[in-house]
Amino acid sequence: MEKVTIYDKKFVKFISHRDIISAIEAVSRQVNEDYCEGEDIPVVLCVMNGALLFAGELIQRLNFPLEIKTVKLASYEGTESSGKIREVQGIPGSVKDRHVIIVEDIVDTGATVEYLCNSLKEKGAADVKICTMLLKPEMYDRDIPLDYVAKEIPNRFIVGFGLDYNELGRNLKDIYVLE
């Protein structure tokens, strides 16, 4: 499928499933290097719903004990970020004195990861690292380092592999860009 229509928008294939998986394999090797020798069991915090597919593929490739938690935040309205973070489902359980790896689908301005990092630190996390499938470097304007980036992309609106347009398109195995 080279083109898809979602609601009133047309999208063209941008990143193939094969390239997505290759990027996930590369980033999982980096995460494994940092955590395989550790004694602590880190919390992998999946930011729902967008990071669901990425997190699923990533954790299958991680070779150390880990705990999975999810959080659901919202900031997008249609194709634009509202700039305001809404907590739909908060961080479950305690993260006090735990190492946390935030797993995000995409980082653009960085408002969501900044919000989560601050929240996790307030809750007593020992350490917070960020792992994102996609980064829009020209949009990122925060001082928080991104520890693991699978792929950098230009500032374009995309759907597929977990990313949506008004909740549709997440199930596409490839990533599509607005035509």
Closest to 94 in 3D by CA, of 119, 60, 129, 64: 119
- pLDDT at residue 93, rounded to an integer: 86
pTM, whole model, 2 decimals? Answer: 0.92
> Would 177 be classed as within a structural domain?
no
Please give the span between the terminal C-alpha atoms of the chain, in angstroms, as a whole number. Answer: 14
> Would 175 be classed as within a structural domain?
no
Residue 156: give the domain boundaries.
3-170
Total domains in the chain come to: 1
State both tokens at 161.
């592999």
Is residue 108 annotated as part of the catalytic site, yes or no?
yes
> Would 178 be classed as within a structural domain?
no
| pLDDT, tens digit, 9 for 90 and up, residues 129-159 | 999 999 999 999 999 999 999 999 999 999 9
| pLDDT, tens digit, 9 for 90 and up, residues 23-45 | 999 999 999 999 998 889 999 99
User: CATH code at 103?
Assistant: 3.40.50.2020
State the catalytic residue, choosing from 108, 141, 143, 147. Answer: 108
Angle between helices 52-60 and 17-35 (to 10 degrees): 60
Closest to 103 in 3D by CA, of 61, 52, 67, 64: 52
